[in-house]
Amino acid sequence: MLTLGPLGFAVPWMLAALAALPVIWWLLRVTPPAPRRVRFPAIRLLFELERKDDTAARTPLWLVILRLFLSALVIVALARPILTPGERLSGGGPLVIVVDDGWAAARGWERRRTTMDWLLDQAEREGRAVMLLATAPSGSSAAPEAPGLASPREVRTAAQALAPKPWAPDRHALVKRLEGISLPAPAHVFWLSDGLEDGDAFALAEALQRLGPLGVLVDPPQAAPLLMLPPDADATGLTARLTRVASEREVALIVQARGGDGRLLARERLILAPGASGGEVRLELPQELRNRLARLEIEDVPGAGSVILLDERWRRRPVGLVSGTPGRADQPLVGDLYFLDRALRPFTELRRGTVAELLKREIAVIVMTDAVALVDAERQALAGWMQGGGVLLRFAGPELARKPDALLPVALRGGDRVLGGAMSWSRPASLAPFPAESPFAGLVPSAEVMIRRQVLAEPTLDLPDKTWARLTDGTPLVTAEKRGAGWLALVHTTANTEWSDLPLSGLFVDMLRRVVALSQGIVGVEAENVLAPERTLDGFGRLGAPPPTAVGIAAREIDGAVAAPEHPPGFYAQGAVRRALNLAPGVGEPAPIERLPAGAARAEYGDAEREAELMPWLLALALLLAALDGLISLELRGLLRARRPVRVERLARAAALVALLVVGAPPAWAQAPAGEAFAMAAAREVRLGYVITGVEEVDAVSRAGLIGLSQVVTRRTAADMAEPFGVDPEKDGLHFFTLLYWPTVPAQRPPSPEAIRRLNEYLEYGGIIFFDTRDGGAGASLGGVGPGTQALRALTRGLNVPLLVPMPADHVIGRAFYLMREFPGRWTGGTLWVQRDTDRANDSVSSVIIGTNDWAGAWAVDEASQPAFAVVPGTGNQRELAYRFGINLVMYSLTGNYKGDQVHVPIILERLGK
């Protein structure tokens, strides 16, 4: 390899071909370019001219240089230049690459892949054998193959198939596998580590050093792995927690809360303070949203570690407490509601209200105390709600004992049963162990809980099935019945301490928790049941179908389960029960690899800059140049010429159209061609022009008005007027128009200084601007302050408007074609202001005419050439007079003071008469 500064050449001998460039130069210069072919009618005149000048046109120098450059480019490209060739591998032995592909590698996986590619490029170039080892267990049941050497090409496919796993690496297993390996020559070993200590890092480094010199790559501090911890749930929200390798950098991250459907529910900023090894952020969500939460994740940080899956345990169910008679029931330490409130509030969203109020919103559980009298409507509403999945929990009491109603899981005997007390032989009863099929299964009945009084169920055949808890003497304490998708449960004692000690014990809270959980579908979770993997995370933290290696977990083991190939993190479900297995609890606090054996070189990813192969780029450039050269050749031979004008014009039009669409210009503007085409079109025929105000309606009226006037002028006079053009003084040439019609509207922006300069030049060189304030309809003459007049003042600031006078009776405008005394437009009246006649500049032609009568409105015609607007008041031949005034105006602008002598006719005649 030949190296020149940052450039290296893999095939340097190709550069010798550069010596051929002068020959190419000579050849290119000698050959004349192919002639253009031109079809030409007057060819007879050219016949004998052929031989007069024999110096053939040569290929232009710049084209020769272009072609030489092209050739040089191809030659250099074939020499396979490489930009910033990297360092070489040491020694001549094989290359060993060890990759940590556990969960922590996901964040910097691109860097790892780049590094692997780079290493494999080198190995391929130098023909070394490669061994690729991954530390994370793959999960396949087959025993891992004994590591062996392979060609870089084979290893590359394996390396590309490598992906981070959603569990921790097992370096210990790798150390074991390495024990039996011997290589033919000392290898160069690279360990692409994830930077986390797991207790075996030192051992692995030692084992690798036995194979050859070891380089350990770790992530740069800003890319160190992050680990989300399960959040803490409390009454008002979740606290998302995050841990990392302690670092001195402050890191700002964003925690996203997403629903089961992937929808973003909340987004909070989380700052990891310098030196801190973790951080937390509160996510406060409305109850309904919170219960939809399915995962928390760190935005833009891929990896299984940055995702926490949430299941029912983090949800707070809305629980309704039916407040019966206020007062006593709420009394502290005495009332039923007091105890229920204290027990439920920490883990549920507790609402109070009547049945109707509670049922208005989503509610999972309704708890009803004894002292609630239900009306039929409420009973029906509750029954329907239970059919839909609600859980109704009732407590017994004196009222129920006296008069059992129908909304009960079991039939009650009348009256209550008193256990113990002065009048009884029996003692207060305690709880028996909970039946296995009961939702309370697993709870330990407290011996301190004594039930002194209860209501009794009628013994029926199905009573044992309906019993969730019973006393030591076998009488049911809690009975329940499935109602549709929901439950109806009855606690046969009160929710206060009057009948039992139950509300005082922690068991009460646990039982309530189980009942509330029942509403979430955690029913029948038997410890032996196996939860099958439903959806699991991959190494990048994406939820997907579980891999084939994933197997189910027994329900009782899921709390202690650690993410592993058999149990990738994800959701495990059986029936309606769905539990999340998260990575974080089984991983522990991340800690950096501190200790490495002597001789191991530690470096960060990215130190190995990727060397760039330039050949494809150079060849692509050469190809582009060749295409350009081809185009130039075609152009030189005239093969592009024939169609070009059309195309350029179209392109210009398209570009103008796009530009207009972008700036949202009015459509009237779009009809006028732009730039040179505008000038050509404007100059070729006589046209009227109007100033584009930017107000669409006004411009449309101007255009229609001038079209109408042009038609009339063409019909009646020798002037042949083409279609009028809209003119933008900011950019269009004005000199092509003898007359510019300018309706003044407040919405128009005052012209820029450049436009003012051009307008002044236009006036100076004989142009006429006809300002129409269109205020006649507003009842204001020019002296008044109609909106158009105000706009006129704003727009003409800076214009060289000459001294104006009201039009004298004998002004040329009144005689230019028709003899006229008044000049109505859409409106009548109003004064026409013109330049003082005594100004001899510009042949006494008034460069500015100002009126108020909205003439364009009177001239305007629609597509059928019918007048578009009514004239006001419309008496007599007002529109005809308006047209006549327009014709006079056009004639005035075309002929100047030509008809001025008409003014003097009376005097001349008088003199002749003498």
Partner 1 sequence: MTADGLVAARRAEEISATLPPLLLAAQRIAATVSHGVHGRRRVGPGDTFWQFRRYHVGDPPQSIDWRQSAKSDRVYVREREWEAAQSVWLWRDASASMRYRSSAGLPTKLERAELLLLAVASLLVRGGERVALLGGGERPSSSRGQLNRLALALAIGQGLPGRGLPGFEPVGRHGRVLWIGDFLAPIADTEAILGRYAHHGVRGHLLQILDPAEETLPFAGRVRFEGLEEEGEALIERVEAVRGDYGTRLAALKAGLAALSARFDWTFAVHHTDRPPQEPLLILYTAISEASDLLLPARR
Name the residues that contact partner 1, by CB under 8 A.
32-47, 49-50, 52-57, 636, 638, 643, 645-646, 649, 680, 684-685, 717-718, 720
CA-to-CA distance for 140 and 789, rounded, in angstroms? 88
Q: Distance between CA 506 and CA 612 in Å, rounded?
A: 69
Closest to partner 1 by CB, 55 vs 866, is: 55
What are the backbone angles phi and psi of residue 140, rounded to the nearest 5°? -75, 145
Distance CA 516, CA 507 (A): 14
- Closer residue to partner 1, CB minimum distance, 396 or 672: 672
Q: Which is nearer to partner 1, 67 or 290 (CB)?
A: 67
50 vs 179 by CB, closer to partner 1: 50
Contact in structure between 730 and 751 (CB atoms under 8 Å): yes
* Closest to 477 measured CA to CA, from 512, 506, 502, 504: 502
Tokens 């529910």 belong to which residue?
Answer: 265
What would the two tokens of residue 498 be?
A: 């009057």
Is the Cβ of residue 45 or residue 422 nearer to partner 1 in the bound state?
45
- Direct distance between the N- and C-terminal alpha carbons of the chain, in angstroms, rounded to an integer: 115
CB-count exposure of residue 626 (10 Å: 0-12, 13-18, 19+): middle
Q: Looking at this protein, which amino acid is placed at residue 753?
A: P
Nearby residues of 858 by Cβ (< 8 Å), 6 or more positions away: 705, 824, 825, 826, 867, 869, 871, 878, 879, 882, 883
C-beta of 126 vs 720, nearer to partner 1: 720
Longest Cα pair distance anywhere in the chain, in angstroms? 157
Distance CA 227, CA 305 (A): 5
Compute the least distance from the CB of residue 818 to partner 1, in Å. 17
Alpha carbon separation from 737 to 681, 683, 757, 762, 893 (Å, rounded): 11, 8, 17, 9, 9
Cis peptide before 873 (omega within 30 of 0): yes
Least distance from partner 1 to the Cβ atom of residue 732, Å: 19
- Shortest distance, position 680 Cβ to partner 1, whole Å: 8
| Residue 765 beta carbon to partner 1: minimum distance, rounded to whole angstroms | 23
- Residue 69 CB, shortest distance to partner 1, in Å, is 23
Q: Which is nearer to partner 1, 32 or 220 (CB)?
A: 32
Report the residue number, 45 or 436, with the smaller CB distance to partner 1. Answer: 45
762: enclosing H helix or E strand: helix 753-764
**CA nearest neighbour of 411 among 365, 455, 376:** 455
Output 41 or 332, the one with its CB closest to partner 1.
41
In the complex with partner 1, the residue whose CB is nearer, 463 or 634, is 634
The two three-digit tokens of residue 127, written as one number = 């023909």
Q: Which is nearer to partner 1, 482 or 650 (CB)?
A: 650
Query: Least separation, in Å, of the C-beta of 60 and partner 1?
Result: 9
CA-to-CA distance for 741 and 761, rounded, in angstroms?
Answer: 17
Q: Which among 670, 776, 675, 680 is positioned nearest to 722, based on CA atoms?
A: 680
Chain centroid to Cα 329, Å, comes to 54
**Closest distance between partner 1 and the C-beta of residue 736, in Å?**
15
CB of 697 to partner 1, least distance (A): 31
Q: Which is nearer to partner 1, 41 or 148 (CB)?
A: 41
CB of 679 to partner 1, least distance (A): 13
d(C-alpha 846, C-alpha 58), whole Å: 60
Calpha distance 209→337 (Å, rounded): 71
Which among 297, 123, 135 has a CA at the least distance from the CA of 201? 135
